[in-house]
Structures are given as structure tokens and as C-alpha cells.
Structure 1
Amino acid sequence: MELLVRRVLSVRSATAPRLGAGGLVFYLSDVTGVQQLWFFDGSRHDVYAPVEGRVGDYRVSKDGVVAVAVDRDGDEKWRLYLLGDDLMEVSAEGVNSLGAWSPDGSALAFTSTRDSPSDFHLYVYRRGEGEVERLAELGGINVVEEWSEAGIFVTHYETNLDSTIYLFRDGELKELTKHSGEALNFSPRYVGGGKALFLTNADWEYVGVAQMDLATGSWKYLVQLDRDVERFDVWGNYLVFSVNE
């Protein structure tokens, strides 16, 4: 039994692939024993920038700048940095949730408890200034999902069965998925033309893909099945999604 346990614990993984500048493929791997950010350039695999601690998440900007979330000794107190010749601190106070780069790559949105031990407020880090600014106060657990030309999409979680999507734009925070009772609303994705897709189980037993008109707030299901849609993406004129069978 001891040997079996040791074999299970020795299993390594590679996850979260993303395309970077110059055709680099980034991914997370714990092949060294501690999860780090790796890259593949078409001919070799290597650690992108070794850091002290575990890399839990990362984002690549339009111009190739990489932001990472790092903890120490497995404490899950995630700290945000930019990778370069040295680590450049973005936010190391409180617990931080890595969010999304602005469309032009000049700023990074994230949520953090740096000003409140139990509230993940919305912040932005602007590369040119090197400063963090709080954009909005949001109580509880909040996650930046996307930053597009429409604004910054944030999902607020009351519980793991109840969530709401907000849009921050021009200094204002707008609740997009107002509802009564429990309903999941998450994974917003702006698709142009003033419309966004998202996952929801509002007024339905299972999670489906819905489309919202951001100007009016009206929405409708595009995919509504007798099983949960777990994730989706948009590829040209196609909507691609996976379901839990």
C-alpha cells in the first residue's frame, strides 16, 4: 500500500495551455515537483522563469507580458507578479485572484482582499504607472472573468450554487444577472455587437449557454439541455461547448 501511495503521489501533470507571443505555448507543470510556468517553442520544453514558490495561475498580455499568481510553501495566499528579468510585484498583500489583461495589454484587472480580509474588491494595475488602484468595492468572493471592449466582467459568488455577473465600465458597476432565489451565472464572454454569452441555470434545472443584450439586459438560452454545460468557447461563427454526461 505504501508503494501504491508513493506512485500516486509521484504522478505529474501539465495543464492550462495558452498561446503567447511569437507562437510560444505556455502551460503549467509540476514535473519538477513544484508547479511552474513552462513553455514550448516548437522544438523544446523549458521553465519560462523559475520562481520561488508554486505558480497557481497565469495570464499573457497582448504584447507578451506574463502575470503569475504565486504562493509560498503551499499556503494558497496567492501573490501577483509580472515575469521578466526579475519578479515585479503587482499585489502581495492579502489573498489575490488573478483576473484579465486589458485588450491593449497596458493594465491588469484582479480581485483581492488587500484592503479587507473577507472581501475581494476589484483592482487594476497599470504597467506604465506601476500602481494599484481600487476600481470598485465588492463584498464577498469575486472573480474577474474577462476584460474586453465592453468592460471588465466580474462574477460574484454568494455560494457555490448562487452567483451574479457584474460589468464594470466607465467607473460604474452594473449588475447584469439580477435574480431571486438561487441561480448560477458565470463565465461571461463578450462576442461583439453589444452581446455577451454566459453560463446559467436561471429558470432551469441545468446549466446552459445564454446570450444577453448588454444594453437592455434581456437574455435567452442558446443551448438548453437535460444535462449541464460545463464550458464553452466561440470559434468564428461556431459555438463550441462541452457537457456533463
Structure 2
Amino acid sequence: MAQPLLIEHAGPVLRLRLNRPQLHNAFDAGLIAALTAALHAAGVDDAVRAVVLAGEGPSFSAGADLQWMRGMAAASQDANRADALELARLMRTLDELPKPTIARVQGPAFGGGVGLVACCDIAIGAPQARFGLTEVRLGLLPAVISPYVVAAIGPRQARRWFATGEAFDADTALRLGLLHQVVAAEDLDQAVAAQLALLDRAAPRAAAAAKALVRDAAPGADATAQDRANADLIARLRVSAEGQEGLAAFLEKRPPAWAGPRE
């Protein structure tokens, strides 16, 4: 069986590549655990100066694996809470990693994939990249990733995109602040390399501490309490009637009960 995460050390750069291309690099428990462990290791490795997060194949990440979610929808609320906390731990680890991080977004990112992009310090995308916070279509919400997405695009924009589930293109992501730069697909690696060169010129401890400086300057709720509250929310939604109906409708390729007729 292929490893869900490819790990490559290239000098001071750690490259992490989501490796479930046949499922558009969707999360399951194995990928979440592997990515969290790799990030923890990078955080304490003095040889690592920067981390590049990418996706294998045409997609960056489709978010949660729907078959995995189907299994979790049949589980208890407590089991869903524990599961959601693991995803919250991944996002928190990436967001607070004491190393600069770059998201290389070559293709679509949805749901939790948007969360990964928002958690990275620098995000560079190709025109082919598309984004969406589509959880409402399943009767769910982007609860666990919400602190990072709201920080990236702002509350006003988040209210729209969270509520509608509408997909948006790379240029819109750039305008919203989710991406820092959009370049042609063939120039993506060069753009990432340019940012790595700038980071290489920065003092390692200063570059690593930059995100903590920004985080500490912004008022916010207690991180642990926030993660628990968001995990409770997504657990309740997954086992709710709307969550069950939304997921069933998606898998059965039909409109959910609350949706109007399609044009």
C-alpha cells in the first residue's frame, strides 16, 4: 500500500506531499496522523529551515475523505469529537509550527484542504487551483478550520463563503488573501524556490518566530477551548439529521432534502 504522505529532505527544506491522488488527496485518519507526526518532527529538527506542503496528482486536497466520513457518521458523537480533535491538532500544529511553511497549490483545494492552505505562512497557487468551503452542502460546517480561514480572509468574506459553499478561483483566492501569489503552473516550483531563497537569507530563529509574533499580537480565544468547541460542533453536525442527509445525498448523487431545484 502506498504511503499517504511522501517525505523528502532536500538540504534545509522539508517537502511534504499528500499522496492519495486517486482520492484527490482527501484526508482520512492515516493521512492526518502521518502529516501531524511529520510536522511535529520538523518542529524539533534544527536541520529543517522551512517546510513545503504540496499534493500529488492534479489536486492539492479535497478535504475529508467521504467514505471515511460515512463511517464517522455512523459512529457516536463522542467518537466524532475525538476524530475532529485529531484534525484540529493537525491544523494547530501546522499553524503554530516553529518553521516557515509554504503551500504549493497546483490544483483544487476544498474543505480541510483550504484549512491547510490557510495555516501555511506563504501560499502560492496556479491558475488551475480552485477553492471551496462546501461543508454546508453536506449539512456541516468548516468548524475545525474556521480560526485559520477567518484569519486568512477576514470575517466578512468568511460569512459569505461559509454560508454559500460556493467555489472560487485562484484569482479570487488571491484577492481574498488566501493565496499570496498566483503564477503559471510551469512557474510554480520557481516561485516556491524564490520564497525559499528569501527565507534562507533570513535569520532562522527570527523567521521561525515570525508567526508567533503575529499570533501573539492578535487577540483571540484560548486555543484549547476553541479546538474543543469546534470539535464538539462538527461532531454534533455529523450525527445530526442534516449531516446524515447531506452526506447521503452527496454519495447518492442527488440534491439534499433542503436544496431547491437545480437550474
Q: Please classify the TM superposition score into its range, dividing by the shorter chain length.
A: under 0.3
Q: Which has the higher contact order (CA 8 A, sep 6+)?
A: 2
Normalized against structure 1, the TM-score is what?
0.27
Q: Which has the higher strand share?
A: 1
Normalized against structure 2, the TM-score is what?
0.26
